[in-house]
Structure 1
Amino acid sequence: MLRSKRRLAVTACSGFVLLLAGCSGGSTVDDDVAGGGGSAKAPTEVSAGYVSAIDQIGLPAGVEAGYFDDQDLNVKLADPYPTGVDALNALQAGEVDFVQVGTPAIAAAQKGIDLALVGNYTGSASRRSIDDTMAVVASGKSGVDGKDLTTLRGKRVGVSEGSINHLYLLGLLEKAGLKAGDVKIVNTEPPDMAVALKTGGIDVAIIWDPFPITITQQVDGAKEVLRGGEYIPFVGYIVTTPKYAEEHPDIVERFLTARATTDQWMRQNPDKAADAATRWLPGTPTDVALEAMQHNVKQLDPRFSACNYLALDSLAQLLAAQGNVEAGFDVNKYFRPGPILKVMTDEAKLFEDLPEMPASARIESGYAFDRTAAGKACPS
């Protein structure tokens, strides 16, 4: 009953993203759930936010499908944030209880924002590097060849400085034996990359889905010359505050159970997940969502292992080497693995379709990250 009400609300509100507060009159889709006058205990209210991107669609899709309802959680979604920085600022301000954030968490933590990383929304707990949602799109005149990365030398490359696509570029350059100074980095926001490539402001766009797909559709002669390749670890964490995690461990566990349930559903039903994406990311064509979701589901691994610590540590080192963050970032200060480890034990069926984690990469609550040991435990 409740799940069908959620789906009805999506249609009735004509795609407006703040659906769960109801469409009119201040009511919500959870009103009178028991059908008899409010005798049943009300679900726990939780607020959450996400960035408007295909790899973050699991949160609204899980709300729409009713998986949070199954955990007795009434999740109120904030309007999608344009960037992870905006999401973290909202968390710090107390506007939401949970957000989904990747690389920007490093700089935010160093600036004093209190963060507790309690789960993954994208990444891998079974290997060191995964980057299937990243791609290199080159103009037809650039001469860039994905099979010969030295062809990047001297090119104007559009990335968002300090973000995951910047790090992907650094991974590519390292593999090619090049340095950052061997290319001209042009700080470009994802929505502006198609125009920059079309007008010649950049020769190459390096970006995450769905932008590689839409850019090739919008710019004549542009083509995707490289996809993924395991050049870097991709990170995306479910984040709350240390205070919230300490005071509400049961809510955190139920929230992560709902997200893990959603992730498994998405992995098993990518076409249906893509259909949900078209509703929650306004303006996303069905064909784009379908193609992007095929890449996205490869990174839907909500588990924690030593590999996730290693991923964040590796990216922090890359950013520090470029002067984007301070050196010496200690990942141990921010991970709170207890809740997701309990979900992994109590709800093992939600993870049975994922690659097996190396035994040496498995962790327990209270795990202390060691770079050398984690590097040996996590295969490339």
Structure 2
Amino acid sequence: MRRHTLPLLAALVPLSLALSACGGNSAADTGAAGQEGKDGKGTAVTLNVGDQKGGNESLLRAAGELDKLDYTIKWSTFTSGPPLLEAVNAKAVDIGGVGNTPPVFAAAAKSKIAVVAATHGSSAGEAILVPKGSALQNPAELRGKKIAVAQGSSAHFQLIASLEQAGLKPADVTVNFLQPADALAAFNSGAVDAWAVWDPYTSQVLRTGARVLVSGEGVVNGLGFQVAAPAALEDPAKSKAIGDYLTRLQRAQDWVFAHPEEWAKVWAKETGLPYEVAFDAVKRSNGTRVPVAVDDAAVVSEQKIADTFTELKLIPGKVVFKDFVDTRFNGALPPSTTAPRSYGKAS
């Protein structure tokens, strides 16, 4: 980041640095407290879990869901979904959480992945943002403009879908593929006209006077996924641990909704976000998630994303998303179309 951008970015730097400091192969090595289970052969069961800064490890710990485990969790931290899924494909990670678009790109790359769980949340945090003072008033005015977005992210599809709704194609704009830290600098320096991104970046930048040109509400499906390595699912001990992990994660998501202020404090500490920004993001999107089944409706919705990227030649060939889904953990979960939780309008 250039020095002349520092005054404007002062409140934004902590989260960017925290995320950019976590390389795709970096392991946190924070084995969760709890008893180690045995897999019947006298060896400890270790579940390798991929995470992002301030993600599921922080959530589970805050909710008290890392207590009394009968297996060990080894956490590895990643900057975003795509490198996390590369680790799942390489069997370095047994399971990890990502947004709605990374599994499509991983499937297109013929990665060995299995989508095993889902959540449905508000898409208000998925947004195309414009800086304070921008003359842009609606998405149709993006023609000829420069837009930053992380390639293969959930925001990537939201950008494409929003342009389509406005009668535009990706070729009508200049897309700059930038990871959040670089996109943030470009956005605030004026190097791009808009930024397609997700929470907590959305809530963070809105606090500086930026505004939402268009959000993902009514545009994207609001789904997030837990993605496992097929080899881990084939191991009875690891499959059992994955089922328990998903149940704990569901309870932790319920805890967030019941304790939004407490979770915002933890999240702020973990990420370096100001508390006010963290609480905005909890209300806008982070705390709205409902555990749902990976059902036919979810598959159809994800297939639309895959077909869109195929038509644009951004992924090679046809992806059959249902071939990468494992429904063994669906149980009695509600349908993927279940309405997200709501705290009302975020500030």
Task: Return the TM-score normalized by structure 1.
Answer: 0.71
Aligned CA distance change for structure 1 residues 312 and 355 (closer, same or farther; 3 Å): closer
Task: Give yes or no for contact 2:50–2:78 (8 Å, CA) kept in 1.
Answer: yes
Native 8 Å contact 2:93 2:229 kept in 1: no
Match of 2:186 among 181, 196, 209: 196
1:75–1:153: structure 2 CA closer, same or farther, 3 Å change rule?
A: same
CA distance in 1, matches of 2:269, 2:132: 33
Equivalences for residues 15-94 of structure 1 within 5 A? 18=28, 20-21=30-31, 29-30=33-34, 44-52=45-53, 57-69=55-67, 72-78=70-76, 80-94=77-91
Matched, 1:319 2:309: yes
1:149 aligned partner: 139
Q: In structure 2, how many angstroms separate the alpha carbons of the residues matched to 1:312 and 1:81? A: 23
| Corresponding position of 2:8 | none
Q: Which amino acid aligns with 1:99?
A: G
Residue 275 of structure 2 is matched in structure 1 by 286
Matches within 5 A, 1:224-263: 224-248=212-236, 249-263=239-253
AA matched with 1:50: D
* Percent identity of paired positions between Structure 1 and Structure 2: 22
The answer for the alignment partner of 1:159 in structure 2 is 149
1:303-318 matched pairs, under 5 angstroms: 303-318=293-308
Contact 2:63–2:255 under 8 Å retained in 1 = no
- Kindly name which structure, 1 or 2, has the bigger radius of gyration based on alpha carbons: 1
State how far apart, in whole Å, the 1-side matches of 2:300 and 2:79 are: 27
Secondary structure of 2:282's aligned partner: helix
Q: What SS is found at the alignment partner of 1:206? A: strand
Is 1:140 the counterpart of 2:132 in the alignment?
Answer: yes
Task: Work out whether 1:100 is the aligned partner of 2:97.
Answer: yes
CA distance in 1, matches of 2:227, 2:47: 13
Q: CA deviation at 1:91?
A: 2.2
Is the alpha carbon distance of 1:63 and 1:46 closer, same or farther for their aligned partners in structure 2, counting shifts above 3 Å? farther
1:162–1:47 CA distance, 2 compared to 1 (3 A): closer
Alpha-carbon distance in 2 for matches of 1:173, 1:228: 11
Partner of 2:10: none
Equivalences for 1:104-143 in 2 at 5 Å?
A: 104-120=102-118, 122-123=119-120, 131-143=123-135
Q: Counterparts of 2:270 and 2:301 in 1: how far apart (Å)?
A: 29
Query: What amino acid maps onto 2:126 in structure 1?
Result: M
In the TM superposition, residue 356 of structure 1 has moved relative to its aligned partner by: 7.0
8 Å CA contact retained: 1:267, 1:300: no
Q: Aligned residues, how many?
A: 305
SS in 1 for 2:96: strand
1:337 matched residue in structure 2 = 327
Distance in 2, matches of 1:87 and 1:188, equals 17
User: Structure 1, residues 117-141: CA drift from partner, whole Å, max 9, x if none?
Assistant: 1102x436xxxxx522212221234
* CA displacement at 1:155 relative to structure 2: 1.8
Give, in angstroms, the shift of residue 304 of structure 1.
2.4
Separation in 1, partners of 2:183, 2:206: 11
In the TM superposition, structure 1's runs of 4+ consecutive aligned residues that sit over 4 Å from their partners are 41-44
Give 5+ residue unaligned stretches, structure 1: 1-16, 22-27, 34-40, 125-129, 346-350, 358-380
Given that 1:164 and 1:234 are in contact with CA atoms closer than 8 Å, whether structure 2 keeps it comes out as: no
